[in-house]
Amino acid sequence: MNYKKLIPRLDLERLPAHVGIIMDGNGRWAARKRRPRMYGHRAGARSVRQMVELGVELKLGYITFYAFSTENWGRPEEEVQGLLKLLKEFLAKEIAELNRQNIRVNIIGSESRLDPAYLAEIREMASPTFGNTGLTVNMAFNYGGRLEIVEGIQKLFAESRDKPELIEKLSPQAFSNYLYTAGQPDPDLIIRTSGESRISNFLLWQMAYAEIYITQTLWPDFDKAAFIEALIDFQSRERRYGGVESQ
């Protein structure tokens, strides 16, 4: 379906400020085509581009893509190295256009296990966009929600040695400033492709009140029309944040 035909069904004043996407199904997509898993990951990168394009068109504020988890190190070495290479290839190919579109690209995740030279390189590649003020694209790479919270506690503890009031006056809002997404709104919507019904250690702190949308579509087949369908579903829900239905 042409995605533009779906846009009139959206209330453009009630779009989510932040969308998190668990991009699942690349391997199964490739297997169905009797191709290697990296073939699916490369196809998935094209879906990332489509989501970013639509995010700009709809004037979304933030999209976080779950690109590589802390658990993904357990995959075959060839696939791990392929995913590391794919992020660099994506940045090299897309960063000029992303910058032209006023998109800010953040690499969020842990520094542990990553080669410092590799980490410096991908951050340098993203750096031309750091002053941009349009859509923020977070690439969650070497990311794990539990590790993010642990590392946030470590940062807080280190600062509190000289400022004990940081612990004494700690609030959930204040602790959010120690997470990888500091300064960003929590996601309103989490999209998970491929039909799996789990959150897979993604944005555990931030998704406390996010709406979760699960689709059977495999990530490489998730296109702009599918994204709009998720947004339409989001707008059909009543968000109560622990309260009761409105009268």
Mean pLDDT of 170-177: 97
pLDDT of residue 47: 98
Please report, for the domain that includes residue 64, its CATH number.
3.40.1180.10
Asked whether residue 36 is assigned to any structural domain, the reply reads yes
Catalytic residue among 72, 201, 221, 223: 72
Pair of tokens at residue 2:
């042409």
Residue 121 falls inside a structural domain: yes
pLDDT per position as a tens digit, 218-246: 999 999 999 999 999 999 998 776 665 65
Which token pair is 186? 């929590």
72 catalytically annotated: yes
Percentage of the chain surpassing pLDDT 70? 97
Task: Report helix, strand or coil for 174.
Answer: helix
In a domain, 212, yes or no: yes
- Per residue in 101-124, pLDDT (tens digit) is 999 999 999 999 999 999 999 999
List Cβ neighbours of 30 (8 Å cut-off, separation of 6 or more). Answer: 36, 37, 38, 39, 40, 41, 43
Residue 134 has pLDDT above 60, yes or no: yes
Mean pLDDT of 72-95: 97
Return the ∠ at Cα 64 (arms to 72 and 55), rounded to 5°.
140
User: What pLDDT, on the 0 to 100 scale, is given for residue 239?
Assistant: 77
Residue 53 inside a domain? The answer is yes
Q: What is the share, in percent, of the chain residues with pLDDT greater than 90?
A: 96
Contacts with 184 (C-beta within 8 Å, 6 or more apart), sequence order: 18, 62, 136, 138
Whether 244 is covered by a domain: the verdict is: no
Residue 247 has pLDDT above 50, yes or no: no
Confirm whether 99 is a catalytic residue: no
Number of residues that this document lists for the chain: 247
Which residue out of 2, 11, 24, 162 is catalytically annotated? 24
Q: Residue 32's domain spans which residues? A: 16-144+187-235
Q: How many domains does the chain have?
A: 1
> What is the DSSP secondary-structure string of 29-92?
HHHHTT--HHHHHHHHHHHHHHHHHHHHHHT-SEEEEEEEEGGGGGS-HHHHHHHHHHHHHHHH
Read off the pLDDT of each residue in 43-67 and give the average, rounded to a whole number: 98
> Residue 192: pLDDT band by 50, 70, 90 thresholds?
very high
Write the CB contacts of 27 (distance below 8 Å, at least 6 apart in sequence): 37, 40
Output the pTM of the full model: 0.95
Residue 199 lies in a domain: yes
Domain assignment present for 109: yes
The average pLDDT across 85-94 equals 97
Rounded Cα distance between 147 and 136, Å, is: 22
Judge whether 10 lies within some domain.
no
Residue 141 has pLDDT above 60, yes or no: yes
